[in-house]
Amino acid sequence: MTSRSVIIDTDPGLDDAVAILFALNSGHFDVIGLTTVAGNLGIDVTTRNAGRLLALLGRPDIPVISGAADPLARPSIDEAAIHGNDGLGGVALPEPLAIPHGYAPFWMADQLRTARARSVDVLALGPLTNIALLLRDHADAARRIGRLIVMGGVVTDKGNVGPRSEFNFAADPEAADAVLRADLDVTLIPLDVTRKVRAGLDYVQSLRGTIAGTAAADLISAYFQDGRESRPLHDPCVMLLALAPELFEVETRHVSVDLRDDPGALLEGPLPVKIAMGIDVAAALKLLANGLA
């Protein structure tokens, strides 16, 4: 499997953390940087956590670049209730090895202008604020993105913020709207799919062994709540689709983003968007476990 250059835009967050550990440990991704965004928690927490994950795996060669502290046009919402105030469910990770530098939209633009056009994919695990800012202020660079794979939205399932809205889209609906309107190669992975990719207690235990696998097991264990039997692994689905798109059934739907009644909800609309609506769950979980081993 050749490794592709990727930028991971993220709001770690427990499931973001598992996705990042998988990407780094699997050897299938050339991660050129982690850009952080406010989402599950504030920008300082998500940025620190990105640095802590790199410190855990001894990767001072990978930069962390912090980004938007607030949504484009609304007050922030967060998911501290799920991820804990430290964003990692209290799992002890080392402190970051380096001070983050730069500002994510600028840094992304610089990387995209320097790299061969469409040779860098962007894996978006949080609210789309940084990518919307890249589109607004550096449209020439944004056009050079290869694939933009986004965990976000919900199509027929119920929402996890409003009745029909998913957190990454609800946290910054204007950003989601801007990204779906842009002429980019976007693939959405909505809750309809990510909720099917569930880690049970036995699966979590099976991950233990390597530094990445044991940390992932600790992080998912911290994600279990009030006696539930399993937890959904939302963000790792982005890496899995980047690596093995054949495991997903992707269809083009015509949508728009609700900016009023249930902000972030996906409505019928004029925008043609590739949306994953099916997944081979067993194969996906196996690939995830293999990449953490």
Catalytic residues: 234
Closer Cβ to ligand RIB, 51 or 159, answer by number? 159
Strand bridging mode 64-66 / 145-151: unpaired
Sign of the Cα torsion 194, 200, 203, 205 reads positive
**Half-sphere exposure of 73 toward its Cβ, with a 13 Å CA cutoff?**
13
Closer Cβ to Ca ion, 13 or 96, answer by number? 13
79 binds, among Ca ion, ligand RIB, none (CB under 5 to 8 A by kind): ligand RIB
Closer Cβ to ligand RIB, 56 or 151, answer by number? 151
CB of 13 to Ca ion, least distance (A): 4
177 binds, among ligand RIB, Ca ion, none (CB under 5 to 8 A by kind): none
Q: How many CB atoms lie within 10 A of CB 167?
A: 26
Q: CA 188, CA 252: separation in Å to the nearest integer?
A: 10
CB of 267 to Ca ion, least distance (A): 23
121 binds, among ligand RIB, Ca ion, none (CB under 5 to 8 A by kind): none
CB of 59 to ligand RIB, least distance (A): 21
Which positions touch Ca ion (CB under 5 A)?
11, 13, 16, 125-126, 235
236 binds, among ligand RIB, Ca ion, none (CB under 5 to 8 A by kind): none
Which positions touch ligand RIB (CB under 6 A)?
11, 13, 15-16, 39-40, 79, 125-126, 151, 160, 166-168, 234-235
Strand partners, 5: 30, 120
CB of 197 to ligand RIB, least distance (A): 12
Amino acid at 47: T
Residue 236 CB contacts under 8 Å (≥ 6 apart), including other chains: 15, 18, 19, 22, 197, 288
290: helix, coil or strand?
A: helix
CB-neighbour burial class of residue 230 (10 A; exposed 0-12, middle 13-18, buried 19+): middle
Closer Cβ to ligand RIB, 16 or 258, answer by number? 16
